[in-house]
Structure 1
Amino acid sequence: MSEKTIIQKDFYRESGAYLSTFQIWKKCINPNLHFIYLLRIAQKYSKKSFAGMFWRLVLRHFQIKYGFQIYPETQIGEGFYLGHYGGLVINPKAKIGKNCNIAQGVTIAQANRGKNEGVPEIGDEVWIGPNAVIVGNIKIGNNVLIAPNAYVNYDIPANAVVMGNPATFTLNENATLGYINHKI
């Protein structure tokens, strides 16, 4: 079996099947998948090359159209899934692991001062609910569910469910069970 591309792995999360290039194009009618496709293409090229500048310009157009503020510099693992489109902001220095789901209204931001100055690092198999805010130089472990409207500004261990403002967490081995489908 041939090696799957990162785009095929991202689209696998939505469909549960590895798709051909033509099948991927057909699914790009969905704004979430279309944006992921353009993001991955822009990430492929150096920003100083002509192709890189072209794809960044195309991506910028669709950032504005769909409301996703995700830049090609952002390190995002394979199996990335956007649940809904609109109002999503991710700092370009943030790191996101594989098989992560991010819903609408989420902010993953940099703290500019204080003890957590910096950007978040998010582990594998993390589900982030609508309107959650993750800010500062913090680490989110693997298999973490961040509930809608949670405000997270401190480290979260693996296998946890996070909720509230300010956030609190409880340990749970099955934190993302049923929330993250079609894992790579």
Structure 2
Amino acid sequence: MNADLPLFAQIREDWIAHGRDWTKPGFRAVAVHRFGVWRMSVRPKLLRAPLSILYRALFRRCRDVYGIELPYSVVLGRNVVVEHQGGIVVHGDTVIGDDCIIRQNCTLGIRRLDALNDAPVLGRGVQLGAGSVVLGKITLGDGAIVGANAVVLVDVPARALAIGVPATITMRGEPTS
């Protein structure tokens, strides 16, 4: 989604989205992700090899120290904010839209081992509450909100609220003037 921006412009944009604080683990994890995507564009492979070693070390540090597992194969939109560290696992085939917020202990993953590529797709402006779980090939529409500790197993329409275990969908009305 950010292929048109240079690496440092993407990282600067993410830095601004994370409150201009480079010490936040969420910003660091997103920056490592951006670096991982960028390094795959380096040709020839011989020049990419040292960058891949550096990426793998940085990825493991984010995973082991901060508890944020965000592989380079995730399609990550602009201004995605990882608010708090700890227990965040994102499947490599997940698509995360622009302006999303991911809070602590969220899991975006597969539902069955016979469908390894069936990962969630998050639209623009999706908010994931603390401890929420989104499993399988489902779509969260633009502006959807997933409540804390909700387990989402079905598609969530745009501007809807998903709460509970398993999640039930509640439509949020448009504000009246």
Q: Matched residues in 2 for 1:44 and 1:52: separation?
A: 10
Q: Matched residues in 2 for 1:29 and 1:10: separation?
A: 12
Q: Matched residues in 2 for 1:103 and 1:145: separation?
A: 12
Offset, 1:86: 0.5
Q: How many residues align?
A: 163
Partner in structure 2 of residue 38 of structure 1: 32
Map 1:82-161 onto structure 2 (within 5 A): 82-112=82-112, 118-161=118-161
Map 1:74-89 onto structure 2 (within 5 A): 74-89=74-89
Moved over 6 A (4+): none
SS for the counterpart of 1:105 is: coil
| Aligned counterpart in structure 2 of residue 6 of structure 1, from 4, 10, 25 | 10
Unaligned stretches of 5+ residues in structure 2? none
TM-score (norm 2): 0.83
Instruction: Provide closer, same or farther for how the CA distance between residues 163 and 82 of structure 1 changes in structure 2, counting only shifts above 3 A.
Output: same
Unaligned stretches of 5+ residues in structure 1? 16-23, 176-184
Offset, 1:28: 2.1
Query: Would the aligned equivalents of 2:15 and 2:22 in 1 still touch at CA under 8 Å?
Result: no
Percent of residue pairs bearing the same amino acid type:
25
Q: Matched residues in 1 for 2:119 and 2:62: separation?
A: 24
CA RMSD of aligned residues (A): 2.4
Map 1:53-68 onto structure 2 (within 5 A): 53-68=53-68
Instruction: Provide closer, same or farther for how the CA distance between residues 66 and 87 of structure 1 changes in structure 2, counting only shifts above 3 A.
Output: same
Deviation by residue 1:76-126 (Cα, 9 ceiling, x = unmatched): 1010101100011110111110101000000001122689x8111111100
Higher RCO structure, 1 or 2 (CA under 8 Å, sep 6+): 1
TM-score (norm 1): 0.80
Q: After alignment, is 32-41 or 154-163 more displaced?
A: 32-41
Q: Matched residues in 2 for 1:46 and 1:172: separation?
A: 41
